[in-house]
């Protein structure tokens, strides 16, 4: 009896200690919290020497500094040392999750103290984060760049990716600004691209006309669903404090190796016992998780611990006897009972010696019949709801408007096809990442194969702006009527999906940007003859859009990445997502600034007035890329060479053209043609849009130049410069004197961006 009592006490002691055990989340002897924030391993508080954080290939980036000068104390992460100032780059940490961190970054801010806007009362125009050597990356799925203010610009720069995104705001009156709307009236937003480890956020004001009720401009990255715009955010400078408290989500992982690579050296492999290793799909490296049936910290030795599902005798998952196993459990029914013994299973039922075969058979039969009927009813209801949802999306995305506009044209638009969502899902294998042709700030383009074996390109937008639906429908109707061999043809659209999708003809040889700047080994070099033909075909397509299409079209985002090439290097203008239809043939259209830095027309940038001459300026930059082989903007180069247009104009004025022309082009024996195209580019880049040539004139000059026979250089010189009305005299006049007076003053967006200090 006494022995049984001792065994009972021992069992009770084991159950009591087991039920109250709290598995550690930090190393023994290490601090678990900094103020209100829990710091879990591999992150740790204190210097590296105390071993509280993981130290490996990622050095001390998992180390957390607890600053006790705050009340309560605040934790900070070290992101490295600023090479410009020599100071440690520290950032406040607000939470740690399985593969995410949340931190705080102060917004870029400019505030003016009087209505004249002469003197900034607060001038902190740059907000940046430098994480190149760290295991952290800005989350592209959970963050958004916001810009606040009136007549202001919000910039996002990613120097290592040579990426620059911009959105703009405007305010007519204080009353025109509404809460919750972030489409340009007092608030604008753009998505954050993937893989950003070094970013610079910048704000500035293009006009001071509304300083009386909006004295400040802000630019900041925020967790998307943690910020909702309010008109009161524009009052005074109080939003700086509010904006500093909005979290930013970072993705994190261990090291920069895959699970397979890291497991080759178990001495540095971070995953402990009873864990699974997963390759991170958002950052280089891997993350560790506990296996099913185990809990704890997967990075702390000896690893995750078994969950004793049977520990609580009253609330365990079994009806019968519960037996714990490693990572799982088993249930046993009492004697004379049958079943799996689980509360969520068949449970336990007493055995009947006289088994009612007929009743059971009938019961099973009726059960199956009921199940079939219920399934059919469920499928019918589900199908009806799905059809209603598709119909609703079709109407929201402008389907009725599209049908109305199609029927309004004589004979309809026969080439316009409205695809179903199912058709495009099958064509892209449910939008497989392996079929991605390209990613941009506003959408992803997939390669697809239709049932008739036609290969197409399918553009899936990221953001739906319901205010732009009518413009989207107009674009489809007009572009399906555009019949030009050098314009990518729109085959149709899908309006019943979550976002509208456009279906284009597939152009097989990539874009011009790739062939100039990212040419792979073994790919042919674009000769001067091919480049001249690409320029001529592109100019002809733009001239057609401006003056020969049924409704004039301003492309608004001409760049080498939007000029596609087929296998014969025939050029095709693509991506009309930013285009404007000029149905009234206006000389100017007042619109929010949109485009790509480096190609953006300075006159449009400063006035918000869009004209077809804005496309001419952008085309001039493309001509420079064809001549020099350089990118329009390069933050890795010196201030003088950062803007290609500015550097090129300086070279022309110094008569040093062939110092900036790509060597293989300069040595191709076509100096006279290169000089003529350079002079044409200079005129396209004129600061005054009214003094630039039209695209029709540009196209005509390039076509004439392409027809010139180069064998007789004297005859080429006489014929071509007679055609150009003797505007250029190569043999006797230096390039710096080609232009004179006001028409000779060229400017680029160099003047708009030279004030940027990359790491202030």
Which tens digit of pLDDT belongs to each residue from 218-250?
A: 889 999 999 999 998 888 788 888 888 899 999
Mean pLDDT of 524-528: 87
Confidence of residue 134 (pLDDT cuts 50, 70, 90): confident
| Token pair belonging to 369 | 């019949």
Which tens digit of pLDDT belongs to each residue from 461-492?
A: 765 566 556 666 666 766 777 888 999 888 88
- The residue ranges of DSSP E strands in 305-454, in sequence order, are 305-306, 321-325, 328-332, 337-338, 349-350, 417-418, 436-440, 443-449
What pLDDT, on the 0 to 100 scale, is given for residue 213?
81
What pLDDT, on the 0 to 100 scale, is given for residue 93?
93
Ranges of H-type helices in 548-601:
none
42 prior amide bond cis, ω within 30: yes
**Strand 328-332, strand 321-325: pairing:** antiparallel
Mean pLDDT of 736-755: 34
Q: Sign of the CA dihedral 487, 563, 144, 211?
A: negative
- The residue that leads in pLDDT, 755 or 108, is 108
Is the per-residue pLDDT at 278 higher than 80?
A: yes
Least confident range from 42-46, 207-211, 331-335, 510-514: namely: 207-211
Confidence of residue 412 (pLDDT cuts 50, 70, 90): very low
Mean pLDDT of 728-736: 30
Q: Using CA atoms, how far apart are residues 230 and 456, in angstroms rounded to an integer?
A: 42
For 724, half-sphere exposure in the C-beta direction (CA atoms, 13 angstrom radius) is: 26
Q: Is the pTM of this model over 0.75?
A: no
What pLDDT, on the 0 to 100 scale, is given for residue 466?
62
Which tens digit of pLDDT belongs to each residue from 299-316?
A: 998 899 998 888 887 788
Cβ atoms of residues 44 and 27 within 8 Å: yes
Is the per-residue pLDDT at 191 higher than 70?
A: yes
Q: Let me know if 212 is exposed, middle or buried by CB neighbors in 10 A (0-12, 13-18, 19+).
A: exposed
Is the per-residue pLDDT at 343 higher than 80?
A: yes
Q: Using CA atoms, how far apart are residues 199 and 161, in angstroms rounded to an integer?
A: 10
Exactly one of 58, 233, 557, 749 is catalytic; name it.
557
- The residue that leads in pLDDT, 55 or 68, is 68
Is residue 452 part of the annotated active site? The answer reads no
Of 260, 284, 262, residue with least CA distance to 136: 284
């Amino acid at each position: 009896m006494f022995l049984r009592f001792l065994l009972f006490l021992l069992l009770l002691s084991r159950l009591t200690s087991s039920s109250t055990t709290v598995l550690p989340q930090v190393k023994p002897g290490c601090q678990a919290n900094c103020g209100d924030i829990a710091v879990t391993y591999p992150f740790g508080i204190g210097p590296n020497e105390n071993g509280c954080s993981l130290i490996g290939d990622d050095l001390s980036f998992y180390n957390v500094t607890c600053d006790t000068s705050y009340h309560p104390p605040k934790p900070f992460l070290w992101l490295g040392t600023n090479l410009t100032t020599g100071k440690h780059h520290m950032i406040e940490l607000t939470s740690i999750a399985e593969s995410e961190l949340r931190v705080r970054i102060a917004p870029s801010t400019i505030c003016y103290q009087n209505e004249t806007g002469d003197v900034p009362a607060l001038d902190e125009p740059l907000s940046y984060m430098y994480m190149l050597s760290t295991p952290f990356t800005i989350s592209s799925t959970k963050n958004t760049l916001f810009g606040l203010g009136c007549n202001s610009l919000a910039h996002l720069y990613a120097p290592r990716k040579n990426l620059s995104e911009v959105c703009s705001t405007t305010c007519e009156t204080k009353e025109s600004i509404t809460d919750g709307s972030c489409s340009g009236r007092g608030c604008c937003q753009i998505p954050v691209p993937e893989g950003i480890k070094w970013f610079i956020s910048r704000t500035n004001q293009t006009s001071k006309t509304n300083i009386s009720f909006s004295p400040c401009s802000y630019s900041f990255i925020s967790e998307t669903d943690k910020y909702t715009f309010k008109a009161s955010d524009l009052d005074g400078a109080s939003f700086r404090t509010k904006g500093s408290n909005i979290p930013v989500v970072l993705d994190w992982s261990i090291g920069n190796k895959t699970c397979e690579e890291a497991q080759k050296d178990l001495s540095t492999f971070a995953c402990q016992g009873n864990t699974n290793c997963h390759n991170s799909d958002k950052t280089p490296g891997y993350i560790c998780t506990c296996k099913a049936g185990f809990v704890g910290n997967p990075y702390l030795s000896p690893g995750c611990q078994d969950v004793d599902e049977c520990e609580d005798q009253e609330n365990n998952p079994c009806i019968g006897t519960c037996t714990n196993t490693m990572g799982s459990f088993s249930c046993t029914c009492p004697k004379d009972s049958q079943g799996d013994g689980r509360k969520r299973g068949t449970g336990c039922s007493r055995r009947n010696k006289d088994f009612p075969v007929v009743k059971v058979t009938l019961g099973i039969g009726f059960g199956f019949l009921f199940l079939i009927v219920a399934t059919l009813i469920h499928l019918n209801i589900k199908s009806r709801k799905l059809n209603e949802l598709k119909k609703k999306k079709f109407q929201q995305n402008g389907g009725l408007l599209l049908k109305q506009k199609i029927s309004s044209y004589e004979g309809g638009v026969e080439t316009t096809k409205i695809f179903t969502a199912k058709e495009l899902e099958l064509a892209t294998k449910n939008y497989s990442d392996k079929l991605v042709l390209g990613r941009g700030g506003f959408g992803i383009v997939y390669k697809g194969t239709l049932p008739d074996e036609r290969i197409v390109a399918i553009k899936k937008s990221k953001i739906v702006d319901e205010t732009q639906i009518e413009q989207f429908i107009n674009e489809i109707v007009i572009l399906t009527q555009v019949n030009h061999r050098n314009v990518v043809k729109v085959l149709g659209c899908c309006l019943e999906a979550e976002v509208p999708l456009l279906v284009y003809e597939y152009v097989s040889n990539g874009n011009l940007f790739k062939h100039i700047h990212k040419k792979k080994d073994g790919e042919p070099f674009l000769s001067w003859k091919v480049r001249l033909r690409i320029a001529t075909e592109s100019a002809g397509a733009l001239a057609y859009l401006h003056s020969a299409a049924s409704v004039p079209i301003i492309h608004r985002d001409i760049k080498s990445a939007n000029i596609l090439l087929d296998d014969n290097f025939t050029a095709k203008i693509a991506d009309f997502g930013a285009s404007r239809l000029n149905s009234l043939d206006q000389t100017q259209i007042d619109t929010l600034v949109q485009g790509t830095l480096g190609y953006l027309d300075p006159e449009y940038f400063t006035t918000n007035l869009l004209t077809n001459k804005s496309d001419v300026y952008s085309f001039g930059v493309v001509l420079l890329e064809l001549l020099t082989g350089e990118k329009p903007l390069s933050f890795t180069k010196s201030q003088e060479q950062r803007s290609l247009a500015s550097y090129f104009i300086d070279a022309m004025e110094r008569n040093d053209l062939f110092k900036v022309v790509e060597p293989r082009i300069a040595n191709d024996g076509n100096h006279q043609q290169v000089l003529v195209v350079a002079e044409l580019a200079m005129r396209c880049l004129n600061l005054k849009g009214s003094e630039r040539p039209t695209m029709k004139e540009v196209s005509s000059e390039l076509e004439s130049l392409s027809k010139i026979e180069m064998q007789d250089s004297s005859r080429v010189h006489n014929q071509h410069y007679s055609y150009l009305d003797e505007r250029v005299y190569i043999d006797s006049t230096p390039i710096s004197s080609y232009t004179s007076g006001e028409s000779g003053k060229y400017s680029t967006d160099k003047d708009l961006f030279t004030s940027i200090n990359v790491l202030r």
